[in-house]
Structure 1
């Protein structure tokens, strides 16, 4: 059976949905997987090791991580650890359900009869079967969708690739190279090396040449097999990391046509839809994954950002804050929470969250760019200059880093430098469409040469390209000189109108998050 009753909760395992009196509760992703694990064992006590193995494997997690996830699950269920109704702690042992779940005979059952021993055994086997199948499927796919490993060497490479840290990325690359030395045509190793080479550029401050290597490997695979969905996804990822948003979207969309169940690809495509201004489409993609959302690495961060852009402030804030607390090794959750506070103009809180993020060992230019903007906000140009310089040191090829460092250099940039930089950034008709951020750089440069009309026009071009972050434009000192400008007001109004349209799409959709009104 796929529907269970736990006291007044109805749990649909297939749809990954929890309801109380017909109202959906916000239990999804890793929280749902943890709840399903507890349900599959009835009222047995589950220790930390067993929970870690059944819910988090192959990732290695601490008891603190499990405790925090139990806390989030309890909050979502409306449970109280001091007087538990659904999940109780068993001192020194682990956790167990407070009652034995019962099978619902069919979808119309309003209440469940007390289960007989044979019925209890039947639903336990059914739920266990669901989890076994899910675990077996997960074991065959690492987070980026590589084929099942064919050797212990590849198994270990896949393991390191799935952890998602810079050092582990390098370990996995070395192992994939060893596998290719033994068999240059190994598809699994070529796919892994392609994605992780691109990840060097996207995630770990590598150079453009790393993503170009990833692109070349993906093309090599596609020359052999044009129907390889994972190779198309790797191609899209390489283009993504190289800044070619149109080619990246095309690669991801082709991959999804070939393999609609590829959730990592679907979520990656959703991120690019967000960057193109298709925020409702992005949220829909992340809410309609085919498998376990908890196994899609950056999905929770993306959903929080999408809700934020759509104006669902409270729902976004809860997710950002939870992500920041639960995933200290996730570079993007470390960026997203302080940046969200910055967008709300809660500058002191943003500075505090940023200071914590900078201690977590996930260096990224965006952290130092935000540090620089916070310094400007409080009038400390010297501190801002130092932060912008650190961002550029981390990623010397960064266009934004080059622009902001030049604008806040000491001595100030010459008019010739500003004009040259504008000419370098202004897109040509023969070039791929730039990311919206390029237009923001042009707006900064136009402000530097006292051209507010041209600066507002550049922001308008950013909106045309997909930029939708109204809050940032209002909060950032980089655009403070435009406040009160009629062209700037028209840009904000244009964003408002489009977001209102997309927000209406979300509020009327069946797939919307449970906490969205």
Structure 2
């Protein structure tokens, strides 16, 4: 019996190549749809060589601390076999051992490091959008409370009588990647027994969306998250939880107009139970440049719910875009100091310093954040700071690291490719076609246009880059400070249209700020620079 080396990170299994670092399975260079719990199961079995692995060992190694039975293991093995194209009656990769467990048909062969291929350029085919789209523009913190639609599980669903469903809700409520995968497995188990159970459909829909939007998972090419939510809505059009799940699925695909309407509908259906939907709507209002409306919705949500763990950062970002920089920075700094395990705060605070042109302080904060739980956008920020110092090789390494941490996200991979050296014109055109297809499919994120800006600048086409920038601003892009500070846009600095674009953003923000200052809903203590209003 042979065992793969503990140091090996890539294996050959018959005609498959399994990359543990990238969580990727390929056959003849074509990736297979093996992700999440299925990949964890495969990785665990690979580590056992060709020995028989009992049900108990599988449950302990893959599902623990979740409490599952043999039926759950059997169902997950079935899904893994389907993804690999394996046949349980004539197994090629994984065989069952009756009454005991499972066994790999052969031990995997470790591939030497020399055989490891470099990170491939991003595919030219249309991609599913990400929730965290344009790192340097701080879309991450704007999108953080969209995640609340997932994390506030107890807010959305009535207490279940099914033990497996209760445990699924429990793991969903905790959050984090591994718990999300445990929740998915348990929801799948419930739906295997009761395919039409609406609360399980809603829970699984949200978990599948979270896998892509929050945990860097592979895209959902079949739109299963959306289909599950629509199935629940078909049985009850007033099911606010299902409407919210559909909005979240649309949000993860970049369809922000449909997502915003869905979040608002969910909140209207259940104003007391769907505060997370209101916070998610506030996020998208800010994305669309409706900063005053976004702040009002954010403050309403904050007054009604304290469990939305990302709302403080979202409000800070809202204030930052409105020009209340000192107040926003104080909120970011507090979160950075008090919550070192919050990956969103770990990116937001150094980025706020970067946007103020305080580059040395931003780098010091990045260095500290890199010793904490990581988010890929931290490396994107590190890459931009390196470019400002003229350290192109260090910038390229940082962008590459971001792409490795989020292999299914287009933006880090795009930056890694652009800064790796000469751009292949065919790749560039393919990538542009892919992004434009996403826009045609309903992607209305302003930052999507900024990806086009970077690609056009890589080809030296300033006019086309400015066209895309103006389209981003027309779609709601409101971060004037980013336009002024990002090294990615420095080639446009001498262009009159670039200066005009910055001025256009400034005028829009000034109008939104005036609305805020005149609003009767503005709390007197929200803006420390302002005196409290007289009663």
Task: Give the CA deviation at 1:313.
Answer: 0.8
**Counterpart in 1 of 2:107?**
none
Assess, with a 3 A threshold, how the Cα gap between structure 1 residues 209 and 245 changes in structure 2: closer, same or farther.
Answer: same
1:441 and 1:290, CA in 2 relative to 1: closer, same or farther beyond 3 A? closer
Match of 1:512 in 2: 522
In structure 2, the CA distance between the partners of 1:272 and 1:188, relative to structure 1 (3 Å rule), is: same
Gaps of 5+ in 2: 1-151, 531-535
Tell me if 1:205 matches 2:211. no
What is the deviation of 1:152?
4.2
Residue aligning to 2:500: 490
Instruction: Compute the displacement of 1:358 (Å).
Output: 2.6
Structure 2 counterparts to residues 378-457 of structure 1, below 5 A: 378-410=389-421, 412-426=422-436, 430-457=440-467
**CA, structure 1 residues 197+418, in 2 after alignment: closer, same or farther (shift >3 Å)?**
closer
Q: Deviations over 1:100-152 (max 9, x none)?
A: xxxxxxxxxxxxxxxxxxxxxxxxxxxxxxxxxxxxxxxxx735522223344
> Residue 226 of structure 1 aligns to a residue in which SS?
coil
* Matches for 1:30-429 after TM superposition, within 5 Å: 142=153, 145-209=156-220, 212-261=223-272, 262-289=274-301, 292-361=304-373, 363-410=374-421, 412-426=422-436
Contact 2:288 2:477 in 1 (8 A): yes
**1:428, distance to aligned residue in structure 2 (A):** 8.1
Instruction: Give me the whole-angstrom Cα distance separating, in 2, the residues matched to 1:211 and 1:325.
Output: 41
- Structure 1 runs (4+) greater than 4 angstroms displaced: 427-430
Helix, strand or coil for the counterpart of 1:467? Answer: coil
Q: Measure the CA separation in 2 of the matches of 1:194 and 1:474.
A: 39
Contact between 2:217 and 2:408, CA under 8 Å: does it hold in 1? no
Instruction: Tell me whether 297-306 or 210-219 shows the greater mean CA deviation.
Output: 210-219
What does the per-residue CA deviation read over 1:316-364, in whole Å, with 9 as the maximum and x for residues that have no partner?
Answer: 0111111222223322222211111111121122122222323322x33
> Deviation of residue 256 (structure 1)?
2.0
Gaps of 5+ in 1: 1-140
SS of 1:384's equivalent? Answer: helix
- What's the TM-score, normalizing by structure 1? 0.68
Q: Decide whether the 8 Å contact of 1:201 with 1:210 is kept in 2.
A: no
Q: Does structure 2 retain, via aligned residues, the 8 Å contact 1:256–1:266? A: yes
SS at match of 2:506: helix
Cα gap change, 1:435 to 1:347, in 2 (>3 Å): same
Q: d(CA) in 1 for partners of 2:201 and 2:425?
A: 48
Aligned twin of 2:490:
480
Distance 1:341 1:508 in 2: 28
Instruction: Assess if the C-alpha contact under 8 Å between 1:161 and 1:168 holds in 2.
Output: yes
Aligned twin of 1:6: none
Quick one: distance in 2 between partners of 1:211 and 1:377?
A: 41
Taking a change above 3 Å as real, the CA distance of residues 327 and 460 of structure 1, as seen in their structure-2 partners, is same
1:49-99 superposed Cα distances (whole Å, 9 cap, x missing partner): xxxxxxxxxxxxxxxxxxxxxxxxxxxxxxxxxxxxxxxxxxxxxxxxxxx
Number of aligned residue pairs: 375
Q: Distance in 2 between matches of 1:256 and 1:325?
A: 33
Instruction: Assess, with a 3 A threshold, how the Cα gap between structure 1 residues 503 and 438 changes in structure 2: closer, same or farther.
Output: same
Shift of 1:249: 1.4
Residues 337, 143 of structure 1: CA spacing in aligned structure 2 closer, same or farther, 3 A cutoff? farther
Structure 1 residues 260 and 350 mapped into 2: Cα distance closer, same or farther (>3 Å)?
same
The 1:483–1:294 alpha-carbon spacing in structure 2 relative to 1, beyond 3 Å, is: same
Partner of 1:3: none
- Cα RMSD, aligned residues only: 2.2
Deviation (angstroms), 1:367: 1.7
Measure how far apart 1:433 and its partner are: 4.2
Indicate the residue corresponding to 1:464 in structure 2.
Answer: 474
Inter-partner Cα distance in structure 1 for 2:396 and 2:154: 38
CA contact (8 A) 2:285 2:291 kept: yes
The residue that corresponds to 1:30 in the other structure is none
Q: TM-score, normalised by structure 2?
A: 0.66
1:394-450 deviations in whole A, cap 9, x for unaligned?
22332223322221123x114444344334333688531431112111111222222
